[in-house]
Amino acid sequence: MQGPGNNDGAQPYATMAGKLDPKLLQAVKVMGFEYMTPVQHRVLTELPNWRSDCLVQAKTGTGKTLAFLLPTLHCLLQGHSAPPRGQVAILIITPTRELAQQIAKSCDQLTSQLATPRECHIAVGGTARASALSRFMKGAPSILVATPGRLKDYLSEPSTAEKLSNIQTLILDEADTMLESGFLADVKRILQLIPPKSTGWQGMCFSATVPPKVKDVVSVVLKPGYTSISTIEKNEAPTHERVPQYHVLIPSVADTFTTLASLLNLEIKSSSKIIVFGVTANMVALFAAAFSQGLTPLRVFEIHSRLSQSARTKTTAQFKEAATGIMFASDVIGRGMDFPNVDLVIQVGLPSNGEQYVHRVGRTARAGNDGRAIILLTEAESFFMKVNRHLPIQPHPQTDTINAAAASCADAVTQAMYSIGEDTKQRAYSSYIGFFAGSGLLKQLRMDKPGLVQLANELAIKGMGCPEPPPMDKKIIGKMGLKGVPGFNYATGNDLNGDRPSRPHGRPGNKTRDVLSPGAGQGDRRGSVSKKRGGGRGGGRGGRGRGGKPRAA
């Protein structure tokens, strides 16, 4: 077995015998790695005495984790100026909790062959702070892998900071992602809270690119004269420039689910491992719920911020190991996460900006593999291509076929939607409105606030199969800056207590309401849309919805 990529011309780890600690070499063998990847080989052969400062440019998925763990663990085991037991020697800062968990797992595997394995601890957000901190304080951590926010939190308490007062090595992993994602201030504060560079700790910075923000931090983390290593060819195009990219324009927002079903039916003929991004976590949850109802023959995975950390960790591990499958995801999977062999990325709806689009495209074509990317947009959202005309996004060559076949998916999508509780649709609807209301995109969409509500109502009724717009709490509407905007179905006490039965849309005998006109029925008892009641509420297929207070997220 080998590391990421192929082993053409690669050097075997056996050539490091006598140089790298034998227990580490044994662990590498147990892990199944026979050959070094280019970045591993270059760091282990070009970094002077493995204690020098370095800036290493390498793409995600090329084996960077072992490239920094092996030399630093070797130096720790050799006892060069090792700190007292119980104090952290190696501090690794990384942008996401999932990546931190990956690194910690690799660290545990590398130290598993030692007579006394070194403790590797994790400090990340989204987990129980008290229990993690208790383990850290009671344990004897030699290595700490942390995300910036939680690490800053640890360093703010003197007793915790004391355990970080004798670090040997500071590693910034995925530095460009971390600093371009809003963590620059946190990282700068961390550098003020740890011992000064003059105390002699080693700095290692791993980054695919070196934008100005990285250069700014490098000047503090690395000493002048640091070793610079790059495994990226000077003329090599970035992933988002070499991955074939296409757009499919959806006739209307109501066709979102049927068009996605049609597209997936076409694409799974040539793609077996797919990631589908949605605009919000709750929209992702609805996609996953719908497509789990038999809309695709592939196994469906789901990962987003509304899931517990343990559920996200489990899904991450399962999708990595899976040979095939579709993962519906939010941007909780940061750019540093590596999912092997993803050959297609689909984005449904507008990304927040061009940078987010690029980061998502980067989930495919990793470690030398091929990949493609497709974005589904409505006509109103097509401005994205004009604003980002520098991106090589071309019309999908089979757009007409995809849209034509969408109609044949309508019955299956409708049946899938009938089986989903109204609370899931309610949260998706609310989050869809909240995304656009709070993103500043309405102006680019050439849409006013009543138009947004009308659009969301169309998505809910014609796309999700709701009999009427899902109820929303007035307080949430106000927080979205939409107080007084017509078109909402204001929630009553029963709505918030889950007492609304699930009712399918469009069945014979169901009564209708005029909900797709933003100014309709503002004198209505329940809110801003009129109802035409004529009889019973219809024969619901999905039973009673679970309800729950709607959330704008």
Nearest-angstrom CA–CA distance, 401 and 403: 6
Nearest-angstrom CA–CA distance, 304 and 280: 9
Residue whose token pair is 């700790």: 201
Query: In this structure, is residue 541 part of a structural domain?
Result: no
Query: In this structure, is residue 458 part of a structural domain?
Result: yes
Give the CB-side neighbour count of residue 413, counting CA atoms within 13 A.
25
Query: In this structure, is residue 539 part of a structural domain?
Result: no
Tell whether 437 and 402 lie within a shared domain: no
Nearest-angstrom CA–CA distance, 218 and 400: 50
When pLDDT is averaged across residues 12-21 and rounded to a whole number, the result is 96
What's the pLDDT at 508? 37
**Which of 203, 230, 257 is the endpoint of a domain?**
230
- Whether the per-residue pLDDT at 402 is higher than 50: the answer is yes
What's the pLDDT at 3? 52
**Which of 387, 413, 439 is the endpoint of a domain?**
413
Nearest-angstrom CA–CA distance, 143 and 31: 20
What is the span of the domain harbouring residue 291?
240-413
What's the pLDDT at 37? 95
- Whether the per-residue pLDDT at 398 is higher than 80: the answer is yes
Say if CB 125 and CB 139 are below 8 A apart.
no
Phi and psi angles of residue 284, each rounded to the nearest 5 degrees, phi first: -60, -45
Nearest-angstrom CA–CA distance, 411 and 16: 61
Q: Which of 299, 346, 332 is CA-nearest to residue 318?
A: 299
Query: In this structure, is residue 546 part of a structural domain?
Result: no
What's the start-to-end Cα distance of the chain, in Å?
Answer: 43
When pLDDT is averaged across residues 271-284 and rounded to a whole number, the result is 97
Query: In this structure, is residue 80 part of a structural domain?
Result: yes
Cite the DSSP H helix spans in 194-255.
212-221, 239-242
Q: Please report, rounded to a whole number, the percentage of residues in the chain having pLDDT higher than 70.
A: 85
Q: What residues are paired with 170 via a beta bridge?
A: 91, 203
Q: What residues are paired with 55 via a beta bridge?
A: 205, 228
Tell whether 205 and 268 lie within a shared domain: no
When pLDDT is averaged across residues 164-186 and rounded to a whole number, the result is 91
Tell whether 200 and 334 lie within a shared domain: no
Q: What residues are paired with 530 via a beta bridge?
A: 514
Tell whether 211 and 357 lie within a shared domain: no
Phi and psi angles of residue 195, each rounded to the nearest 5 degrees, phi first: -55, 145
**Is residue 303 within a helix (H) or strand (E), and if so which, with residue range?**
strand 300-303
Nearest-angstrom CA–CA distance, 227 and 56: 8
Tell whether 335 and 401 lie within a shared domain: yes
Beta strands in 117-233, from DSSP E residues, in sequence order: 119-123, 141-146, 169-172, 202-207, 227-230
39-81: pLDDT as tens digits = 999 999 999 889 999 999 988 778 999 999 999 999 999 986 6
What's the pLDDT at 547? 39
Query: In this structure, is residue 406 part of a structural domain?
Result: yes
Q: Report CA dihedral (119, 74, 50, 15) to the nearest 10 degrees.
A: -140
Domain total of the chain: 3
Q: Which of 546, 551, 541, 539 is CA-nearest to residue 499?
A: 546
**For residue 493, with 0-12 CB atoms within 10 Å meaning exposed, 13-18 middle and 19 or more buried, which class applies?**
exposed
Say if CB 433 and CB 367 are below 8 A apart.
no
Query: In this structure, is residue 36 part of a structural domain?
Result: yes
Please provide the size of the chain in residues.
553
CATH code for the domain in which residue 162 is found: 3.40.50.300
Residues 6+ apart with CB under 8 A from 213: 176, 179, 180, 184
Q: Which of 413, 504, 432 is CA-nearest to residue 466?
A: 504
> Which 3 state secondary structure label does DSSP give 11?
coil
Tell whether 166 and 223 lie within a shared domain: yes
Least confident of 94-108, 202-216, 305-319, 518-532: 518-532
Tell whether 197 and 256 lie within a shared domain: no
Nearest-angstrom CA–CA distance, 457 and 450: 11
Q: State the CB neighbour count (10 A cutoff) for residue 233.
A: 7
Two structure tokens written together for 160 = 């915790």
Tell whether 159 and 300 lie within a shared domain: no
Tell whether 214 and 246 lie within a shared domain: no
Residues 6+ apart with CB under 8 A from 523: 530
When pLDDT is averaged across residues 541-547 and rounded to a whole number, the result is 38
Q: Please report, rounded to a whole number, the percentage of residues in the chain having pLDDT higher than 90.
A: 68
Tell whether 409 and 292 lie within a shared domain: yes
447-456: pLDDT as tens digits = 999 999 999 9
184-238: pLDDT as tens digits = 999 999 999 999 999 999 999 999 888 888 999 999 999 999 999 999 876 665 6
Q: Please calculate the CA angle 273-279-284 and round it to the nearest 5 degrees.
A: 55
**Which of 346, 378, 413 is the endpoint of a domain?**
413
Say if CB 76 and CB 118 are below 8 A apart.
yes
Tell whether 458 and 324 lie within a shared domain: no
Tell whether 320 and 212 lie within a shared domain: no
Nearest-angstrom CA–CA distance, 276 and 346: 5
Query: In this structure, is residue 104 part of a structural domain?
Result: yes
Q: What is the CA radius of gyration of the chain?
A: 26
